[in-house]
Structure 1
Amino acid sequence: MNGASRRDTFRLLGMLHAGQYLPINFVYMALVVILRDRGASLSQIALVSSVGLLFAAKFLWAPLLDRFGGRRGHFRSWLLVLQPLMAAVLIALLPLDPVGDYGLLMVVVLVVVQAAAVQDVAADALAVRALEPHDRGVGSGVRFAGGYVGNMLGGGAVLFVYSQWGWHAAVLSLAVLTAVPLWPLVRYREPEYADMGERPGFRAVVTVFKVPGVVRWTLFLLPLSWIGVAGAYAMVPPMLVDAGWSADRVGLVVGIAVSSVGGVAALGAGLLVERLGRRRVLALSCGAQGLALLGFSPMALGHAPFLMTTVALCSFGAVYAAGSVVINAITMDFTRPATAASDFTVLASVGTFVSLLGGAVAVALAGQVGYLTVLVGATASVLAAAVVNARLKDPPVVVPQVVQDNVSVVSA
């Protein structure tokens, strides 16, 4: 790594991921619980989830980051603007009533999600350039461990604050925590990446699909791995509330306990990727996710005893974290450093779109056919992904050699 030390880079990437997932998990976990607790319908909750589909449109922003500032190692400059912007927008939630001002609430949510999307682009691009290929497993583990800290705080701790002190205290604490990554960001020395002439444009969004293996991974393997697990997990908050759980209990288990287990599992998965290889770890994690989803059956039937439900959710959280880490590492392998923001964002956006679409559709379908039917379909999809990935080899690692027409020529 150039510029900052390996430790400083890992620390910053972990904190940036935490800073991004604080508002995101608040929207998709804590806010869902708060809305349901205050009597919002499943259709309103599904709309909140569907707003996240705009997160997948972040690939439209990515070429701008590559073009203006990204080529000479200044993704940090974007992050210095976006991190405090997210905190400032969250403050706008303070005077709103979540249900009574539902329309205005959705407007603020839209802005927060878009700010988090652009922050994600800059942080991902910085990670691609700062991490050597052999560091990507561990680096992905650190990033997702940070993400789980953000989940724990944004979904769990904020819900606890809401239960004890109300909406205003919850929103204020969320905004303050979101601003925390600014300190290490100010001190960080970003690696320089050589300027290779004319800056990239929007065609980089298309040319990434010429990289060998990208089409199969992005349009088939990634959706198959994500859609079932995302759909099942999106049903967890409303299933728990419908089973009689209070907001603070949901926050304690889903936001804190599951995120804590997931963070530890992410670090372990990063090390495991380096030992066993990307594809083998992905196949094992998908198979384990399918088995773990069986533990959701009582919740789907309206029964959620505390201990059994906590064990089921934590078990799922561990294997879900492992799958997330290896998918992130594979996506980085397909990314060309010359167009780091555009490439990684396009590939990751497909997974994000599939996840959010799967979650929104699953919740909406559950209102029509019941939780259990949707859970069975989600489990079948995850197990199919395990079988397919077990038969494949690791993807080639993309590295820059020469530059022609603003696009890196790559080799495995």
Structure 2
Amino acid sequence: MTTESPRGKIFADRTLPLMLALGFSSGLPFLLVFSTQSTWLREVGVSKEAIGMISWVALAYSLKFLWAPLLDRFDAPIFGKALGRRRGWMALIQIGVALCLAGLSFGHPGEGLLWTICFSFLLGFCGSTQDITIDGWRIAVAPPERQGALSAASQVGYKIALLCAGAGALYIAQYQSWRAAYLAMACLMVVGFIANLFAPEPNAHIETAPGARKSLIETYAEPLKEFFARNGRSTLLFLLLLALYRLPDFVSGVMANPLYIDLGFSKTDIANITKIFGFGVGLAGIFVGGWSASRFGLMPTLLVGGIAASASHLSLALLAHIGQNLHMLTVAICVENFAGGFAGTALVAFMSSLVSPLHAAAQYALLSSLYALPGKILGGFSGFAAAKFGYSAFFVGTSCIGVPVVALCVAVWRAHAAQGAGAEENSLA
């Protein structure tokens, strides 16, 4: 029996609170360029069509794999020499996020959208790049046995940030102004910046230092080649399910807050029910999803999550049909958030099962970037669909996307089982 050294305990104690703060910093920008911003835009009279297209600025979160390897190979300007490669990039990008939030606060979207679109695009790029830097630091700073605890701390910090950027920003906007809300969020970026100053710089850069003499093309190509070779004929099936699994959520999510505003709910109502109450229900969905995966297995959980997440949009269709009703809003949010948390946990487990330990960072970055890409592209057209067919029909339509998702889950279940059986036969041979 081995015991953990005092040095290991000190290391863990130091990195966990830092990871909590960095997870907070990572989560803060996301809603401010997505659902919280859509509330602001709809309130000042921006059309549903325009709101849908503006959501495309968040595509950077799905394309971050394109520039992620560059952050591993080169030092950050200004901060790189003083803080090291990973912390240098982190500091530079955190300042960029704060400046973009401050810039957004001085926009007047009711009078013109150019300012808002430009700063939203920059915020999407900086926010997604911050995710790259924080994920890279987490993977490099601790051995594999520490990653579970660090990931949990990161997720908790991220969820707290979503609460601040959701309910917190709406409260400030309700009682002060949208400018005050976005300036307050910009100030909260100091949490992650201070944590970065106290964080240790990893001694090694995961996956890049051993291949320092490799060309840039090889750096990009090797993880892809290994992924396709290992999964064989099932690769495209796995990727197709990955691309479609959360498609209903991404398409419907752009129009959820505009629905609440158009029904006459106040920003306080939205904050109380969809953000604070929904926060707790979403956490419950995450925990139940994790328990289900360990108790019943990954593939059954993935199937149930796909059905639940898609069907949950029928509650929003019913809300749109009934109209302004706080009880129905509460029911809809409970159903949506619980199903979303459950399905999200299943999807993360599925993506993790597809990744090779040898190329964990590169492959997971690719999968986590691409799974949202189709949904975010189609989400840009969601305003046109909601305007043409009405909210009720729109949310029924997003729920119907779940039919091919369920069929894919069954096909992937069979392919996953066949792949596991083949691997077992090879090990016995």
What does residue 382 of structure 1 align with?
A: 402
Matched, 1:308 2:328: yes
CA distance in structure 1 between the aligned counterparts of 2:352 and 2:419, rounded to whole angstroms: 11
CA 388–5 in structure 1, closer or farther in 2 if over 3 Å, else same = farther
Residue segments in structure 2 that go unaligned for 5+ positions in a row: 77-83, 421-429
Matched, 1:288 2:294: no
What does residue 119 of structure 2 align with?
A: 108
Secondary structure of the residue that 1:180 maps to in structure 2? Answer: helix
Matched, 1:362 2:373: no
What does residue 317 of structure 1 align with?
A: 337
Please, which moves more after superposition, 23-32 or 338-347?
Answer: 338-347
User: Does the 8 A contact of 2:38 with 2:254 survive in 1?
Assistant: no
- Letter of the 2:223 counterpart: V
CA distance in structure 1 between the aligned counterparts of 2:404 and 2:295, rounded to whole angstroms: 24
Which of residues 116, 119, 125 in structure 1 aligns to 2:130? 119
Matched, 1:65 2:76: no
- Letter of the 1:186 counterpart: L
1:348-390 CA-partner distances (Å, limit 9, x unpaired):
2211312312322333211122223332232222354245335
CA 326–30 in structure 1, closer or farther in 2 if over 3 Å, else same = same
Matched, 1:148 2:159: yes
Please, which moves more after superposition, 143-152 or 54-63?
Answer: 143-152
Matched, 1:256 2:271: no
CA 4–58 in structure 1, closer or farther in 2 if over 3 Å, else same = farther
Larger helix fraction of residues: 2
CA distance in structure 2 between the aligned counterparts of 1:127 and 1:281, rounded to whole angstroms: 27
TM-score w.r.t. length of structure 1: 0.83
* Distance apart, 1:110 and its partner CA: 0.9
CA 329–204 in structure 1, closer or farther in 2 if over 3 Å, else same = farther
What does residue 20 of structure 1 align with?
A: 26
CA distance in structure 1 between the aligned counterparts of 2:170 and 2:385, rounded to whole angstroms: 26
- Letter of the 2:210 counterpart: M
CA distance in structure 2 between the aligned counterparts of 1:375 and 1:355, rounded to whole angstroms: 14
1:238-274 CA-partner distances (Å, limit 9, x unpaired):
1111111122322322232223322343355445544
User: Does the 8 A contact of 1:3 with 1:189 survive in 2?
Assistant: no
CA distance in structure 2 between the aligned counterparts of 1:284 and 1:380, rounded to whole angstroms: 15
Identity, in percent, stands at: 23
- Letter of the 1:117 counterpart: S
Please, which moves more after superposition, 20-29 or 111-120?
Answer: 20-29
* Distance apart, 1:335 and its partner CA: 4.3
- Aligned residues: CA RMSD: 3.3
What does residue 178 of structure 2 align with?
A: 167
CA distance in structure 1 between the aligned counterparts of 2:106 and 2:187, rounded to whole angstroms: 17
Q: How does 1:177-196 map to 2 (within 5 A)?
A: 177-189=188-200, 191-193=202-204, 195-196=209-210
CA 223–241 in structure 1, closer or farther in 2 if over 3 Å, else same = same
CA distance in structure 2 between the aligned counterparts of 1:12 and 1:311, rounded to whole angstroms: 36
Residue segments in structure 1 that go unaligned for 5+ positions in a row: 398-412
What does residue 409 of structure 1 align with?
A: none
Secondary structure of the residue that 2:245 maps to in structure 1? Answer: helix
1:202-257 CA-partner distances (Å, limit 9, x unpaired):
44444433312383366301122011122122221111111111223223222322
* Distance apart, 1:276 and its partner CA: 4.3
Q: How many residues align?
A: 395
Which of residues 200, 224, 238 in structure 2 aligns to 1:209? 224
Which of residues 369, 380, 384 in structure 2 aligns to 1:349? 369
CA distance in structure 2 between the aligned counterparts of 1:320 and 1:344, rounded to whole angstroms: 21
CA 65–12 in structure 1, closer or farther in 2 if over 3 Å, else same = same
* Distance apart, 1:45 and its partner CA: 0.7
Secondary structure of the residue that 2:380 maps to in structure 1? Answer: helix
Which of residues 37, 42, 58 in structure 1 aligns to 2:43? 37
Secondary structure of the residue that 2:105 maps to in structure 1? Answer: coil
- Kindly name which structure, 1 or 2, has the bigger radius of gyration based on alpha carbons: 2
CA 328–129 in structure 1, closer or farther in 2 if over 3 Å, else same = farther
1:105-140 CA-partner distances (Å, limit 9, x unpaired):
111111111001111122233444567778777765
